[in-house]
Structure 1
């Protein structure tokens, strides 16, 4: 989705969005000179809003939490790959 639609859906002003991108809290792609947002960006922005508005987390805390969330997702992906490799290996051993 384009930036304007994203801002409307998340109910955010452009200046705040710019800060979030500068802080690397959001990383939209760019097409034809325009920022393009995916559903994952929308979910992440909602998480940021919840952290700040509902839980009262300050900006430094938001950065730490987002970093930890990213690490957890990375670990889940690595674990999924490892388990997939183990299943493939055990299947190949059974076939021999």
Structure 2
């Protein structure tokens, strides 16, 4: 989705989006036509907004939470790959 579509879907303002991209909280795909956002980016933006507005997390806290969340997702991917590899070896 385009930047404008993302802003409408996520409910954040353009300045906020630019700041979150600068802080690397969001990393849209860069194309020749400009930044492209996914549904995952929208979910992440809503999560960040909830952390800030509903929970009261400050920027440093959000940094830590997002870092831990990214690590968790990375570990889940690694475990899934390991599981698939083990399953394929059992069939040999």
TM-score (norm 1): 0.91
Question: Which consecutive unaligned segments of at least 5 residues does structure 1 have?
Answer: none
1:76 maps to 76
Question: Which consecutive unaligned segments of at least 5 residues does structure 2 have?
Answer: none
1:18-64 Cα distance to aligned partner (Å, 9 max, x none): 11000000001122342110111011101101111111110110011
Contact 2:10–2:43 (8 Å) recurs in 1: no
1:51 maps to 51
Matched length: 92
1:41-95 Cα distance to aligned partner (Å, 9 max, x none): 0111011011111111101100110010000000000000111111111111xxx
Cα displacement (A) at 1:8: 1.3
4+ runs of 1 displaced by more than 3 Å?
Answer: none
Root mean square deviation of aligned Cα: 0.9
Cα displacement (A) at 1:9: 1.4
TM-score (norm 2): 0.94
